[in-house]
Structure 1
Amino acid sequence: MTQAHIHASHPAIIKRLKRANGHLASTIEMLMAGRSCLDVAQQLQAVEKAVQQAKKALIQDHLDHCLEGLVGPLGGDQRHAMDEFKEITRYL
């Protein structure tokens, strides 16, 4: 059986995903009600942004807790490289 893999950031990520779920449900309702394409596109943007933010938080949390836990404490140059790597994940 797989051991639970829970981090302190997971409740915040769940909250973001629930928000995305609410935006998606609203989008479906908007389409069914015949709302304008502009309104639907704006709502889809909100869905996409919420999922993107959840993904970013998950990846950065993984880097902080899983990757660093695997390699151990980082020295100055290694810390700088890790910080740059975390920063570049913004563009995923």
Structure 2
Amino acid sequence: MNHCEDNNVISKMVPRTEQEIENIIKRLKRIEGQVRGVQKMVEDNRYCIDILVQISAIQAALKKVGLNLLERHANHCMLKAIRENSGEDSIRELMEVIKQFSK
């Protein structure tokens, strides 16, 4: 099922601002560039430790994007759910995502 077409998800969501979207896209493009850099390092048969350091940096950058999205979700979408008396469902949903995110 496409979440964008799920009216239940749309009703729970607080749309991101253009600035928020732009910031996320910039970060993801930067990460994409880092991944390409690692691909090039592998092609160039670079030292394993150098590659692993870059992979660690990519993981940290992705985790930061994810944490920023979690924080935004808590401060906007969950607040909306609490105000609309559906906070328990929203907390349950968030906890499931946090479990996935922390693996």
TM beyond 0.5: yes
The 2-side partners of 1:5 and 1:11 are apart by 16
Tell me the C-alpha RMSD between the 2 structures: 2.6
Check conservation: 1:27, 1:44, Cα contact below 8 A.
yes
Paired residues for 1:27-66 under 5 Å? 27-66=38-77
Unaligned runs of 5+ in 1: 73-88
Aligned-residue identity in percent: 25
Unaligned runs of 5+ in 2: 84-97
Instruction: Indicate the SS of the match to 1:34.
Output: coil
**Given the superposition, is the C-alpha separation of residues 22 and 6 from structure 1 closer, same or farther in structure 2, using an over 3 Å criterion?**
farther
Give the structure 1 partner of residue 86 of structure 2.
Answer: none
Instruction: Indicate the SS of the match to 2:23.
Output: helix
- Are 2:98 and 1:70 aligned? no
Structure 1 residue 24 displacement after superposition:
0.5
TM-score (norm 1): 0.69
Instruction: Indicate the SS of the match to 2:16.
Output: coil
Structure 1 residue 12 displacement after superposition:
1.6
The 2-side partners of 1:15 and 1:50 are apart by 12
The 1-side partners of 2:44 and 2:38 are apart by 10
Relative contact order (alpha carbons < 8 A, sep ≥ 6): 1 or 2 greater? 1
- Are 2:26 and 1:20 aligned? no
Structure 1 residue 21 displacement after superposition:
0.7
Structure 1 residue 6 displacement after superposition:
3.6
- Larger mean Cα displacement after TM superposition, 44-53 or 9-18: 9-18
